[in-house]
A and B are shown apart, each in its own frame.
Chain A
């Protein structure tokens, strides 16, 4: 796939959406004049069930159900001939998580996935991202009425990986979407988790954890669109940074449109700077067009290690490196504890511990 049929332009870096992103490090994924070498489809790793249907389809048979202005999304749509399609049957109550992965080549690639959670279904989908990759992706998530979908995406890439993606969830009446975006690997990761409510009583809980070490750029741009009345959203992202030029960006846009009465939303971002030379940008935005809401708020903090916490732990005999590890684990516990999967929890925390040890924190 190299032909370019869409009319999008490469960002200059002055655009609001791209002003934080290191455009030179995107392997051309955001530059239409550069061709992507191939597409990569998702692999079904585990979680087989008669109520789960997973297959690759010709993209034109599964057209996008929403309009996106995102450059990467549009590129993925125009260049991915194949789309992976995961369907969870109506009323399915899946106890075992569905695990998806993919084998990226390390060359520029695109990937498109559509997840459909059927009416009143309950399921967990986990996407594992490991190794080297240069990937632009779009994941479209349809949460049908009364369904509850837990969506976990783990960015445990190796240090050279580039990952640009949009994860768009549409949540129908009384549906519940819980997303967990865990980003600890990669050179540049830029993800846009976005949410649209399509029916009243819908709710979205978006949790995130990111840990950037020297040279990593980890960017998460959340957008929650409240057009429908009586929907609820919660956003809570926590990040830690360590080392020179460790960089994170968190954007939290919440838009409450006219008519979205009874909206209840709160978003939170906390960053912990473990060393000098790291930089965390945190930009919460809340736009409200109706006053008839239950609640709307946001908070953002970026701070350093609390010396008093370290002193307290050390004064009980705990050596400083273990004390720091405890504090960082504690900082992330609120997010990681919600994953409800001990294997993954330990794997993520072990990776953070390992990287902390490498940078000598």
Chain B
């Protein structure tokens, strides 16, 4: 049983125009097995929340706390956060030229598990995970995210999640840029990991479309840098009908 607790999180970025406050006191708790949908309009700070928790250097935490099972996440380096059990599936996965997917996956899994995976079982493990995401095995010889289609990038993110076995995963707009088939495959991947483990999921999305495949236990409406309303799955239905206007016009 794991627990990610975000308390009164305040985050700013430094831009050419000066310091800009983006998160204005976010409170959120995600536990093992739970799926939380964070929904909100563009520019509301949803992705900032994801990247701040993962430790992107662009963001400065000016107040509040983030803990994972009591450990201070904000004190950890980026790789320590991953080792502690956090995973961020990115909206725009980064290309790393000259580094093959297989080398990358093996290096990451070695770092997270603390020892190199056994060659015999490892090859099978990767193959099985790739097959279930409809990924060709030739994929592992390609360079990380280089020349990948939008769908391939997202599948590659979920593949990593499956192999790295995090406690809490943040999926940042994983549904963006996916057609219906890719969305279904990626969602099935997340559901499979959830059914095989006790993964807690923080699902950041603009649209309700992905919620047909990934059923949230909790829905949070995010606007203007904080959570402005929280509820159950029914809140997503309300957003589907009424949009975000009620939250942004204030």
Contact = CB atoms under 8 A, between A and B. Distances in A.
Contact of B54 (A309, A315, A327, A331): A315
Interface string A79-114: 000000000000000000000000000000000000
A316 B82 contact: yes
Interface string A117-130: 00000000000000
B99 A315 contact: no
A332 B111 CA distance: 23
Interface stretch (B90-98, B120-128, B177-185): B90-98
B201 interface: no
A330 interface: yes
B164 A316 contact: yes
Interface in B75-98: 77-79, 81-83, 87-88, 90, 93-98
B35 interface: no
B160 interface: yes
A58 B161 CA distance: 67
Contacts of B57: 307, 311
A326 B56 CA distance: 19
Contact of B79 (A317, A326, A333): A317
A330 B111 contact: no
B98 A319 contact: no
Nearest to B112: A317
Contacts of A314: 55, 77-79, 82
A119 to B, nearest CB: 37
A330 B79 contact: no
Interface residues of B, number: 30
A313 B56 contact: no
Interface in A291-331: 306-309, 311-320, 322-323, 326-327, 329-331
B129 interface: no
Contacts of B97: 330-331, 333-334
Contact of A318 (B54, B81, B95, B108): B108
B98 A317 contact: no
Nearest to A332: B98
B148 interface: no
A313 B96 contact: yes
Given A312-B93, A317-B111, A329 B78 contact: no
Contacts of A329: 98-99
Most chain B C-beta atoms within 10 Å of own C-beta, residue among A311, A316, A317, A320: A317
Most chain A C-beta atoms within 10 Å of own C-beta, residue among B77, B83, B96: B96
Contact of A312 (B77, B94, B143): B94
Given A314-B78, A314-B79, A315-B54, A326 B112 contact: no
Contacts of A309: 94-96
Nearest to B51: A311
Contacts of B112: 316-317
B99 A318 contact: no
B164 A330 contact: no
A307 B55 CA distance: 12
Contacts of B88: 315
B110 to A, nearest CB: 9
A326 B112 CA distance: 16
Contacts of B56: 311
Nearest to B88: A315
B108 A312 contact: no
A308 B95 CA distance: 9
A309 B92 CA distance: 12
Contacts of A334: 97-98
Given A309-B94, A330-B96, A334-B98, 9 more contacts: A315-B78, A315-B81, A316-B82, A316-B164, A317-B83, A317-B111, A318-B111, A323-B79, A330-B97
Interface of A: 306-309, 311-320, 322-323, 326-327, 329-334
30 contacts: A306-B94, A308-B94, A309-B95, A311-B56, A311-B57, A311-B78, A312-B144, A313-B104, A313-B108, A314-B82, A315-B55, A315-B87, A316-B104, A316-B108, A316-B112, A317-B82, A317-B83, A317-B112, A318-B108, A319-B111, A320-B78, A322-B107, A322-B111, A323-B79, A326-B96, A326-B104, A327-B96, A327-B99, A330-B97, A330-B99
Q: 5 tightest CB-CB pairs across the interface, nearest first?
A: A330-B98, A333-B98, A317-B82, A314-B78, A316-B108
